[in-house]
A and B are shown apart, each in its own frame.
Chain A
């Protein structure tokens, strides 16, 4: 039996029965016994621990519109930066063109998912985006992002390191919609590549001591406004298992945090993004 058949079976036959709480509980009870025999206790535990059995369309649309905010801000940043003379290294002009094009594609992909779900994609026009991080008043902590290369790269890093973490924080919130989940995963690793590129440019062009990966909660900048993008990155416990010194290997705390990027939840993400929006 493949996944298709299961879906068909569920779709055709006893879906109403499965939808009722009591029956679902019975089904899960029986399932628990079978799972124990199948020796996948952690999977069973996960199933029972999962509070929701599916996300509503409203929830999914809300998540996708949240991620759209990130993309609109990013789109404006790249578009404006490419217009400023000598801000971006000429050697990597095509890279930024590709990043800008990919950002537009991400917007298109998110909008399409929202439309397919029957929702309305939010639209934030450029005049409502304050790249300085000044909440619409200008003069914010990233006021020089379009003035000098280092500040630009730090903002790009916040939106890509922070961005992949925002996507990551929604992957397991959209479990019931496999199409959305697949798209979020595939955008999310592209953000991580863009973050790597921004970090590389700081090292290569500006000779800064910075790695391709995130170490602890280190933002790798003295701009404290960047810090929110790194909150929670110091975690060394995965699935209840401490990774530091695991099984006697010399995996120190730095390596243990570098090896896993942590999710940002929607509240944390909005705290980062709303700085760049004129919500008045």
Chain B
């Protein structure tokens, strides 16, 4: 294996391709091993494993996003334009659609969180925009990375269906925060950033009073 060109996982591309078709099954099998028992960290709620855990992480993000727009519309900053308000209203609807879809799909097994936006100064436009852009960009990056971590094709498809809408929102917010800023997290190679579950959870916990952990999520 060492003599071959390896990707950052340490598995050669050729072997990876050869076995990835059954690796999905391996991922699921792994969840049944005893050493993979869920371990709570500092009282945080573990999001689970495999596809279901990743969907659960998506569910948590959508709760934060919807909660954020709900809170900002209840505490409008001075000078919010009619256009801005209309965008926020529509984005709230989109996030509710995402959140409720995931809630129903997870059929009672999703982790319901309590949000905490005490770091956000909703009366101050710049604070709202900074945080909105942070959350939206994080959502896109998480979905981008989750795509290849999912086993089931329809879960990849769902992540992609939501990711591009979050990207539209992120670009819209980016432009509101700083005129002309549509492509913030696009790197020199023309690719958008990715965020692994571990990274996403660190950031998303800033907006939660009930913390979550993702130690058992796919994270490579």
Instruction: From the candidates A24, A186, A197, A246, name the one contacting B104 in the complex (CB within 8 A).
Output: A246
Q: Closest chain B residue to A199 by CB distance?
A: B168
Instruction: From the candidates B9, B87, B175, name the one contacting A3 in the complex (CB within 8 A).
Output: B9
Please tell me if the beta carbons of A260 and B165 are within 8 angstroms of each other in the complex: yes
Q: A90 interface residue, CB < 8 Å from B?
A: no
Please tell me if the beta carbons of A18 and B22 are within 8 angstroms of each other in the complex: yes
Q: Report A-chain residues with C-beta under 8 Å of the C-beta of B160.
A: 167-168, 171-172, 185, 188, 261, 263
Q: Closest chain B residue to A105 by CB distance?
A: B190
Instruction: From the candidates A10, A37, A43, A238, name the one contacting B151 in the complex (CB within 8 A).
Output: A43
Q: A46 interface residue, CB < 8 Å from B?
A: yes
Q: Closest chain A residue to B98 by CB distance?
A: A259
Instruction: From the candidates B24, B32, B100, B144, name the one contacting A251 in the complex (CB within 8 A).
Output: B100
Chain B 139-176 near chain A by CB (<8 Å), digits 1 or 0: 01001110110011111111111111111111110010
Q: Report B-chain residues with C-beta under 8 Å of the C-beta of A117.
A: 17
Smallest CB separation, B182 vs chain A (Å): 5
Q: A146 interface residue, CB < 8 Å from B?
A: no
Known: A182-B145, A246-B104. A50 touches B152 (CB 8 A): yes
Smallest CB separation, A183 vs chain B (Å): 7
Please tell me if the beta carbons of B7 and A179 are within 8 angstroms of each other in the complex: yes
Chain A 18-30 near chain B by CB (<8 Å), digits 1 or 0: 1100001001100
Please tell me if the beta carbons of A213 and B190 are within 8 angstroms of each other in the complex: no
Q: A103 interface residue, CB < 8 Å from B?
A: yes
Please tell me if the beta carbons of B23 and A6 are within 8 angstroms of each other in the complex: yes
Q: A164 interface residue, CB < 8 Å from B?
A: yes
- Count A interface residues, CB 8 Å: 95
Q: In residues 118-150 of chain B, which contact A (Cβ within 8 Å)?
A: 140, 143-145, 147-148
Q: Closest chain A residue to B19 by CB distance?
A: A10
Instruction: From the candidates A4, A38, A178, A188, name the one contacting B10 in the complex (CB within 8 A).
Output: A4
Chain A 233-256 near chain B by CB (<8 Å), digits 1 or 0: 000001101010011011110011
Q: A124 interface residue, CB < 8 Å from B?
A: no
Smallest CB separation, B35 vs chain A (Å): 7
Chain A 194-232 near chain B by CB (<8 Å), digits 1 or 0: 111100100000000001110000000000000000000
Please tell me if the beta carbons of B28 and A109 are within 8 angstroms of each other in the complex: no
Please tell me if the beta carbons of A186 and B97 are within 8 angstroms of each other in the complex: no
Q: Report A-chain residues with C-beta under 8 Å of the C-beta of B109.
A: 39
Complex Cα–Cα for A101 and B170 (A)? 21
Please tell me if the beta carbons of B97 and A251 are within 8 angstroms of each other in the complex: yes
Please tell me if the beta carbons of A189 and B144 are within 8 angstroms of each other in the complex: yes
Q: A34 interface residue, CB < 8 Å from B?
A: yes
Q: In residues 177-215 of chain B, which contact A (Cβ within 8 Å)?
A: 180, 182-183, 186, 188-194
Smallest CB separation, B12 vs chain A (Å): 9
Complex Cα–Cα for A9 and B87 (A)? 50
Please tell me if the beta carbons of B152 and A47 are within 8 angstroms of each other in the complex: yes
Please tell me if the beta carbons of B220 and A3 are within 8 angstroms of each other in the complex: yes
Smallest CB separation, B96 vs chain A (Å): 5
Please tell me if the beta carbons of B94 and A255 are within 8 angstroms of each other in the complex: yes
Complex Cα–Cα for A28 and B26 (A)? 10
Q: B67 interface residue, CB < 8 Å from A?
A: no
Instruction: From the candidates A11, A31, A34, name the one contacting B11 in the complex (CB within 8 A).
Output: A11
Complex Cα–Cα for A15 and B25 (A)? 12
Smallest CB separation, A192 vs chain B (Å): 4
Q: A116 interface residue, CB < 8 Å from B?
A: yes
Complex Cα–Cα for A177 and B93 (A)? 34
Q: Report A-chain residues with C-beta under 8 Å of the C-beta of B93.
A: 250-252, 255, 258-259
Smallest CB separation, A22 vs chain B (Å): 14
Q: 24 A–B contact pairs at CB < 8 A?
A: A3-B30, A7-B9, A7-B15, A15-B19, A31-B25, A34-B29, A40-B52, A43-B28, A43-B52, A53-B21, A54-B20, A95-B180, A109-B191, A175-B21, A175-B153, A176-B21, A185-B143, A186-B192, A189-B163, A193-B171, A200-B171, A212-B171, A246-B104, A258-B94
Q: 6 additional contacts, CB 8 Å, given A7-B23, A44-B28, A193-B168?
A: A3-B218, A37-B32, A38-B49, A46-B152, A185-B147, A186-B194
Question: Measuring CB to CB, which residues of chain B are less than 8 angstroms from any residue of chain A?
Answer: 1, 7, 9-11, 13, 15-33, 35-36, 49-52, 87, 90, 93-98, 100-101, 103-105, 107, 109, 140, 143-145, 147-148, 151-172, 175, 180, 182-183, 186, 188-194, 218, 220
